[in-house]
Amino acid sequence: MKEGPLSTALSGEIRFVENGAASIAYTVSGPDGDDAPTLCLVASTGRGPEDFAHLAEKLTEAGLRVVLPWPRGTGRSEGPLDGIDFHDLAADAAAALETEAGRGGAVIVGHAYGCWIARTVAQDRPDLVQGIVLLAAGGGKWPSELSRGIDVAMDPDAPEAERLAALRLCFFAEGHDPRPWLKGWSGELVKAQRAARTETGRDSWWSSGTAPILDIVGLQDPFRPADARDFYLQEFAPRVDLVTVDGASHALPDEKPDEVAAIMVPWVRALPGIAG
């Protein structure tokens, strides 16, 4: 039997927070009160927080508080998609994280494209963020065929066989069923996210604040081949802890949620300023 991703419906209460013209919906689950560490997980290109469902369950079982925002224009989140940049998207996530974080401390977590937004949160709000977790962060560059593959994977009008092949190429390691990821895409969000990347000056976010970074990489991730494995170590050492997961590609948190949680929990609890 093939192992498949474990995405499912999100648990937790749906809440809303305002960020300027945007209204951001998010779920929050885990311990009540102010003393639990709070993690905000930012989803990948064109997708929502449902991909984190099983990972979030494991994190909350370990006593962490988990905030899962929907990007503006998806779920019940609303807000302008034209003329925005990384800082606008980061402010959406930061608003949800700040609302829920208490004395236990706060960590921002990004998956794939969401890593750029997580790093921007850390840059813009160093007062809020005690740690940064990167899940399947891309290296400095990757083959153009992978960007084209994302376009095919998300295209509802493309033949299903081509979409599945693109998902295997870009997101899933051998033995994992990509079929659940035929759903859950927003073309309008992808367009806005790509434009936001173009609109954002590199110097305004690249240094990613000063918080420690946990860089978790799937060994089969084509966006992070072996010769780019130490990319963030080269950029930000000694702030970075690099950990690899075998049998995972770019859909890392959905392919290997148990392993990812097992790596994240002790690292988060060891951060300065985080409740034990």
Q: What digits encode the pLDDT tens for the residues 110-132?
A: 999 999 999 999 999 999 999 99
pLDDT at residue 243 tops 60: yes
**R_g over Cα of the chain:** 17
The answer to whether residues 15 and 69 touch, using CB atoms and an 8 Å cutoff, is no
**In this predicted model, what pLDDT tens digit does every residue of 42-101 receive, in sequence order?**
999 999 999 999 999 999 999 999 999 999 999 999 999 999 999 999 999 999 999 999
Res 5: pLDDT: 41
Kind and range of the H or E element at 205?
none
Rounded Cα–Cα distance for residues 245 and 173 (Å): 11
Tokens found for residue 79: 């807000």
**Residue 135 included in any domain:** yes
Bridge partners of 242, per DSSP, are: 215
- Residue 123 belongs to a domain: yes
Cβ neighbours, 10 Å, residue 28: 20
pLDDT at 6 over 80: no
Q: Which of 11-25, 110-124, 156-170 has the lowest mean pLDDT?
A: 11-25
Q: Is residue 23 part of a domain?
A: yes
Q: Is the pLDDT of residue 32 over 90?
A: no
- Coil vs helix vs strand at 81: coil
Q: What is the pLDDT of residue 195?
A: 98
- Residue 223's CATH number: 3.40.50.1820
Please give the Cα distance from 19 to 22 (Å, whole number).
5
Residue 7 lies inside a defined structural domain of this protein: no
Cβ(11)–Cβ(27) below 8 Å: yes
Q: Which domain holds residue 45?
A: 13-269
Matching residue, tokens 């960007």: 147
Q: How confident is the model at residue 12 (pLDDT cuts 50, 70, 90)?
A: confident
- Looking at the structure of the chain, the number of domains it has is 1
Residue 252 pLDDT > 70: yes
Indicate whether 86 belongs to any domain.
yes
Query: Is residue 2 situated within a structural domain?
Result: no
For residue 256, tell me if it sits in a domain.
yes
Bridge partners (DSSP) of residue 38 are 65, 106
**With the C-alpha atoms ordered 10, 166, 257, 112, is the resulting torsion angle positive or negative?**
negative
Instruction: Supply the pLDDT for residue 61.
Output: 96
Selection from 146, 151, 173 nearest residue 244 by Cα: 173
C-alpha 179/C-alpha 160 separation (Å) is: 9
pLDDT at 275 over 50: yes
pLDDT of residue 1: 26
In 3D space, the residue among 19, 63, 46 whose CA is nearest the CA of residue 196 turns out to be 46
The pTM assigned to this predicted structure is: 0.96
- What tokens were used for 218? 């799937």
Count of CB atoms situated within 10 Å of the CB of 78: 16
What confidence tens digit (pLDDT) does each residue in 203-240 have?
A: 999 999 999 999 999 999 999 999 999 999 999 999 99
Q: What is the per-residue pLDDT for 8?
A: 52
Separation of alpha carbons 113 and 133, rounded Å: 13
Q: Is residue 6 part of a domain?
A: no
